[in-house]
Amino acid sequence: SRTEKLLRKLPSPPFKLPIIGHLHLIGSLPHHSLRDLAKRHGPDVMLLRLGAVPTLVVSSPRAAKAVLRTHDHVFASRPHSAVADVLFYGCTDVGFAPYGEYWRQARKVITTHLLTAAKVRSNRAAREQEVQLVLAKVTAAAAMGIAVDVSELFSFFANDIVCQAVTGRLPREQGRNQLFRELLETNAKLLGGFNLDDYFPSLARLDLVSAKAVKHRKIWDDLLDSLIDKHKTKPVDGEDEEDFIDVLLSVQQEYGLTRDNVKAILMDMFEAGTDTTYIALDYAMAELMRNPKVMTKLQAEVRGCATKGKELVTEQDLSGMSYLTAVMKESMRLHAPGPLLIPHLSMAEWEVEGYTIPSGTRVIVNAWALGRDSTYWENAEEFMPERFMEEAVDAASDFQGNDFRFLPFGSGRRMCPGINFTTATFEIILANLIYHFNWELLPGSTGVDMSESYGMDVHRKEKLLLIPRMAQDV
């Protein structure tokens, strides 16, 4: 067929097996495997046969720009995911929805009503309240001289921030924040695992989607239905800031959203907002502990910008902390929470890097490989926030989707709309933990274990256990 002839012209590893194709070449850390394969068989684009699915792997900034920006209108759709179809009510969320009118409307709801800069700013008080709760926990640990599980601290903090923004104060008062956290962990396992239907679409008609996914969606159903019903009947309180459920219910008819559509979008908000923030914070703190000079420099900036004796470093204080922003950028460059962007799907036959890509080809962009490519980054494997400081070579680089060497949030139509939310949450908690405490590794520790665990996102395997000491000079 014409499609097969076009695919055979693409660079591809020669070690293809019957039925499974190149699946045996993908190890437990796919972003590493794909980077190594691309170096030998790419480097810009490379075709892998993953089961029955031809997959184009993009590993260079130039090819990423072609797919995500220049020809974005062709590659803006998503391949079918059997698990996502179950979890997100027929993929009527924003992350997994196929490109089309529904997706455009759902995306518009998020960018116009939920995650605007003004809406993020309006949640400032809630963020600062959550930070104060974290500081109280760490202060108590410091007083007793005991270690803090910083990984868990960040995970709970990110989850609580998102719960507050999405559902208001109700879940915490009823002890549901922990339930949301557990549900999101299961979501990540289901979506990040090996699902036969994704690689062998002909099996989809056999309904091999695990009963676990169906059962899990039922728990989400009950929880979200309960919250929506309570929001519909709760009394109007002028003092309460509108949460995401309030906003979605207020525009539901305008955008023609069904109840299931609303629930799918809410699940997206939980999924994207929690893990991305927690993982970015955990990696940043781990790198700071591995690089004491960077930690000292960041402490000097934070403590110099915030007034001495402050109980809380506020968001207003953050405006002068350029090194804090550089630390955040460098952490996301080295440790993109989603190292392989959610797969794209070509909707028409199109040319990329001199090759004609057939319609229906799955496309994976290896953002992790882009951020560590020594061709484009000086000392690419080192944690050097200075590269993003004023007058440095990469000072102008940001994660707004314009620098295709650096795509922690993606780019183009499918770019994550939660950048403002994530950065605001990241900076306020890290600044306060650096301002109020000095941090030490456990006695006898040989360093921080940076081993990775792969799922829908990538995070560190081991918990980050640190001993906080109250800073005496602030």
The amino acid that residue 287 corresponds to is E
pLDDT of residue 309: 85
What is the pLDDT, as a whole number, of residue 173? 64
305 labelled as ligand-binding?
Answer: no
C-alpha 120/C-alpha 108 separation (Å) is: 16
Domains of the chain: 2-470 (1.10.630.10)
pLDDT score of 193: 64
Stated length of the chain: 474
Q: What distance in Å separates the CA atoms of residue 30 and residue 192, rounded to the nearest whole number?
A: 11
- SS3 per residue for 372-424: CCCCCCCCCCCCCHHHHCCCCCCCCCCCCCCCCCCCCCCCHHHCCCCHHHHHH
Residues sharing a CB contact under 8 Å with residue 334, sequence separation 6 or more, in sequence order:
283, 287, 371, 372, 381, 383
Name the helix (H) or strand (E) containing 370: helix 367-371
- Rounded Cα distance, 371 and 286, in Å: 18
Distance CA 139, CA 152 (A): 16
Report how far residue 196's alpha carbon sits from residue 54's, in angstroms, rounded to the nearest whole number. Answer: 15
Give the pTM: 0.94
pLDDT at 170: 62
Measured CA to CA, the distance from residue 339 to residue 275 in angstroms comes to: 13
Q: From edge to edge, which strands make up the β-sheet containing 148-149?
A: 148-149, 465-470, 437-441
CB atoms within 10 A of CB 100: 11
Instruction: Give CA–CA dist 133/120, Å, rounded.
Output: 20
Output phi, psi for 458, to 5 deg: -115, 130
Tens of pLDDT along the chain (474 residues)? 899 999 999 999 998 999 999 999 999 999 999 999 999 998 999 999 999 999 999 999 999 999 999 999 999 999 988 889 999 999 999 999 999 999 999 999 999 999 988 989 988 988 999 999 999 999 999 999 999 999 999 999 999 999 889 988 766 666 777 888 889 888 888 887 666 778 887 765 556 666 788 899 999 999 999 999 999 887 766 556 789 999 999 999 999 999 999 999 999 998 888 888 999 999 999 999 999 999 999 999 999 998 888 899 999 999 889 999 999 999 999 999 889 999 999 999 999 999 999 999 999 999 999 999 999 999 999 999 999 998 888 888 888 899 999 999 999 999 999 899 999 999 999 999 999 999 999 999 989 999 999 887 899 999 999 999 999 877
Q: Say what the pLDDT of residue 18 is.
A: 94
- Give the phi and the psi of residue 448 in degrees, each rounded to 5: -100, 125
Q: Compute the distance between CA of residue 215 and CA of residue 459 in angstroms, rounded to an integer.
A: 26
Task: Find out whether the peptide bond into 43 is cis, omega within 30 degrees of 0.
Answer: yes
Identify the pLDDT of residue 190.
85
